[in-house]
């Protein structure tokens, strides 16, 4: 006998928000307990339409995300050049290595015109690189121009993948 598919009940008035600086708020009050924020982050999902939800098997509620749900606050580098490996740690404790499955992307923030470097963490959820991590990444970038390179411009390598910083130029 097959079990019926359980659809989570929608919570209409969750009133939860993730601020641009990575702080989490519930009904206007900042959530200060790191363990609670990490728990919420572990059940955060993104829908195909770009809306974010906290989702458990029983319930789900929409979360307003101002920029990205997470912030990369630390980057470690192993190796150098094309053989290097970049590992990012987020403000909610996720660790991810930039590679083909967890790409870095570089665009301009449409609201401010400032660089918006992000890394895919999991299941469509991204982390924006904080300013210190971004500058560390720019220091690693290499100019490219040869036929075997990813294209002319500035490139950073991780896990054998080239990530172009060219999206940062207006």
Q: How confident is the model at residue 144 (pLDDT cuts 50, 70, 90)?
A: low
pLDDT of amino acid 168:
57
pLDDT above 60 (res 123) = yes
Classify residue 37: in a domain, yes or no: yes
> Among 21-25, 47-51, 106-110, where is mean pLDDT lowest?
106-110
In the predicted model, is pLDDT for residue 143 greater than 70? no
Task: Say if residue 144 is in the same domain as residue 75.
Answer: yes
Residues 47 and 75 in one domain: no
**Residue 39 shares a structural domain with residue 16:** yes
Write the pLDDT tens digit of every residue in 40-59. Answer: 999 999 999 999 999 998 99
- CA 107-54-97 angle, to 5 degrees, is 45
Residues 136, 161, single domain; the answer is yes
Q: Report the pLDDT value the prediction gives residue 26, as an integer from 0 to 100.
A: 96
Q: Reply yes or no on whether the pLDDT at 148 is more than 60.
A: no
Q: CB neighbours (10 Å) of residue 45?
A: 15
Decide if 30 is inside a domain.
yes
CATH number at residue 164: 2.30.270.10
As for how many domains the chain has, the answer is: 2
Confidence category of residue 146, pLDDT binned at 50, 70, 90: very low
Q: Looking at the domain assignment, is residue 4 inside a domain?
A: no
Whether residue 15 is found in the same domain as residue 93: no
Cα 86 from chain centroid (whole Å): 14
Q: pTM for the complete prediction?
A: 0.85
Residues 155 and 104 in one domain: yes
Residues 61 and 132 in one domain: no
pLDDT of residue 147: 45
Q: Domain of 16?
A: 9-65
Mean pLDDT of the chain: 88
Residue 57 sits in the same domain as residue 85: no
Average pLDDT (82-88) is 95
Per-residue pLDDT averaged across 110-116, rounded?
83
Query: Is position 1 within any domain?
Result: no
Residue 2 lies in a domain: no
């Amino acid at each position: 006998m097959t079990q019926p598919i359980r659809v989570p009940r929608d919570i209409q008035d969750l009133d939860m928000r993730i601020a641009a600086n990575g702080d989490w708020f519930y009904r206007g009050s900042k959530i200060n307990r790191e363990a609670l924020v990490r728990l919420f982050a572990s059940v955060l999902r993104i829908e195909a339409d770009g809306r974010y939800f906290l989702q458990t098997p029983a319930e789900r509620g929409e979360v307003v995300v101002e920029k990205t749900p997470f912030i990369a606050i630390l980057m470690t580098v192993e190796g150098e050049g094309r053989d290097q490996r970049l590992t990012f740690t987020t403000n909610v404790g996720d660790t991810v290595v930039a590679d083909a499955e967890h790409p870095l992307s570089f665009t301009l923030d449409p609201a401010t015109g400032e660089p918006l470097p992000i890394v895919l963490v999991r299941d469509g959820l991204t982390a924006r690189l904080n300013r210190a991590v971004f500058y560390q990444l720019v220091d690693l970038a290499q100019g490219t121009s040869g036929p075997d390179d990813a294209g002319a411009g500035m490139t950073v390598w991780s896990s054998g993948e080239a990530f172009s910083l060219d999206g940062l130029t207006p």
